[in-house]
Amino acid sequence: MDLYYGAVDEHDRKKILPPQKEKRKAQEKPCTPDERKSLISQLVAWQHEAHVNDPLAAVRRASFIIDDTGITNLAKLDSEKITDYRQITSLLGQTEEWEGEWSGKIFNVIQKFNKDLATLRCTLVTQKKTQQKRAKVALDLLSFQESTKENEERIRAQVLRRFTTAQQQHTSNSSNIMQCSNVINILSSTGTST
């Protein structure tokens, strides 16, 4: 039913159009605690390697590159929303000099983590679908085997019933033949004696 602005008899009334619903974008799945731990461990490993390769490692600690609080804060964020290395500088409250030396490298670690995570999630979805298909095939096979057994039992019972009926008829026919034979013998013996 359509709705209009204005009275029914007005020729210039306008149709009321409902607001268009906005389509929701597919939401990215937020990181699970295990995935956050994985990002933390990758950032810690990178921090250690960067410190070992830092020419000023003797005078500056690994926490200068990125401290544990910074690593934890980065892991708490949705890593897929970090789209630029400057965001890392801003999130960690670092200087432009620090940004030039470390922010891009940390950004690369996070980007690699995102790619690996997307691949892992895709693999898990594929494995889950494969497992579901295998479970369905196994269930179908079990159902088929059960129905085959039921059919075999039903056919076996029908064959046995028919065999029993045929044997009873055969026995009945045999006894009828024997009785007829006895009657013929009696009649033929009485017919010769008379």
Taking the C-alpha atoms of residue 150 and residue 132, their distance in angstroms, rounded to an integer, is 27
Residues forming beta bridges with residue 14, ordered by sequence position = 5
pLDDT digits (tens, 9 = 90+) for 53-110: 988 888 889 888 899 999 998 888 887 788 888 888 888 889 999 999 999 999 999 9
Lowest-confidence range among 140-144, 147-151, 187-191?
A: 187-191
Reply yes or no on whether the pLDDT at 182 is more than 90.
no
Looking at residue 23, its pLDDT comes to 65
- Coil, strand or helix: which one is 15? strand
Taking the C-alpha atoms of residue 180 and residue 175, their distance in angstroms, rounded to an integer, is 8
Q: How far apart are the first and last CA of the chain?
A: 109
- Coil, strand or helix: which one is 163? helix
